[in-house]
Amino acid sequence: MGANGYRDYFNVLGVERGADADTIKRAFRKLARQYHPDVNPGDAGAEAKFKEVSEAYEVLSDPEKRRRYEQFGQYWSQAGGGPGGSGVDVDFGRYGNFDDFINDLLGRFGGPASGGAPGGFGFGSGFPGGFGGPGFGGGVPGGARSSPVNLDAEVSISLSFADAFRGSERTLAVNEERVQVRIPPGVKHGSRLRLKGKGNLQPGTGRRGDLYLNLQMQEHPVWKLDGDQLRAELPLSLDELALGGEVRVATPDGEASVQVPPGMTLGRSLRLKGKGWPLKDGRGDLLLTPVLKLPEPLSAEERRLLEQLRAARSADPRAGWIQAARL
């Protein structure tokens, strides 16, 4: 359903807007069998979907209702002056099996919209007295116009980390129209893009709202975005931390070499300028934070050397720390 309450009955049945009566009937039979409460006992979602496809079929199977629906959209029942009521009410207990229900339903659909007998369908007039809804001025003393209908629509799009970093293109189906969307490089989680004039259409006026894309960026196992800074942990061995040297690292653009200073302190970051997240004025910096990565398991030679290092260690790494930590 659109942001303004519009339900696309063609989309509900999964048919093209120009579908003929036989195509609509076949689509309804298939969906009604799939979502019928007897097939899905206790499933409130399936029952709601069943009522929705039944409502769509009642409108599209009747030539006059379909004509008014295609002309006036969500206001089709007001345009025809139909009686009040809303939704679809079905007495499933009247039928011995699914086929009895379908045959009865297909035989009765197409009559005038009314409250009907038990098991019938009633469609309400949201604005009594014809076009009295928002944006049409009817129902307001003196013919004054009421507040305009909000025709804007929103949709959420999930992006991989790579697509958010490099940018991407998506094709969206919006109101029977295929819209090509270019997502620029460097968008962030929670970013909002506006497509002007691609929202919901107000039947009879030609007015159309905007479409807003809410971008959701998936997490990456290595790269983390912190504000404008792109960060990652850099695994280093004990000897690399202690002795320093040139090491190969990963960047979003591929591999690169960095110089690790001797005695590198954990928690301190190496900064690679211009290798980070795309920004409006270029690229941000990439911050690599070293973490100690010990071999698992230690080889016999590695264990022997570490034991020699422990025996030769000249300073207590916790000297002064224990005393300073006392409360």
* Position 78 in a domain: yes
- Residue 121: the pLDDT is 30
Each residue of 72-100: b (16+ CB within 10 Å) or e?
Answer: bbbbbbbbbebeebeebebeeeebeeeee
Rounded Cα gap, residues 303 and 231, in angstroms: 33
How many domains does one find in the chain? 3
* Position 178 in a domain: yes
Rounded Cα gap, residues 230 and 214, in angstroms: 22
Does 176 lie in the same domain as 137?
no
CA atoms within 13 A on the CB side of 104: 16
Q: Which residues pair with 194 in a beta bridge?
A: 212
Sign, CA torsion 26/13/9/101:
positive
CATH number at residue 193: 2.60.260.20
Residues of the chain with pLDDT under 70: 1-6, 72-148, 175
* Position 317 in a domain: no
* Position 292 in a domain: yes
- Residue 123: the pLDDT is 29
Rounded Cα gap, residues 210 and 56, in angstroms: 26
Question: Which is it for strands 229-236 and 286-292: parallel, antiparallel or unpaired?
Answer: parallel
For the record, the structure tokens of 255 come out as: 């591999």
CATH number at residue 60: 1.10.287.110
The DSSP letter of residue 143 is G
Rounded Cα gap, residues 240 and 246, in angstroms: 9
Rounded Cα gap, residues 308 and 302, in angstroms: 10
Contact 125, 82 (CB under 8 A): yes
- Residue 176: the pLDDT is 72
Q: Quote the strand ranges of the chain, DSSP E.
A: 153-159, 168-174, 177-183, 192-195, 211-217, 224-226, 229-236, 245-251, 254-260, 270-272, 278-279, 282-283, 286-292
- Residue 270: the pLDDT is 92
- Residue 166: the pLDDT is 93
- pTM of the predicted model, to two decimals? 0.50
Contact 184, 199 (CB under 8 A): no
Range of the domain at 191: 153-217
- Residue 179: the pLDDT is 82
Does 268 lie in the same domain as 165?
no
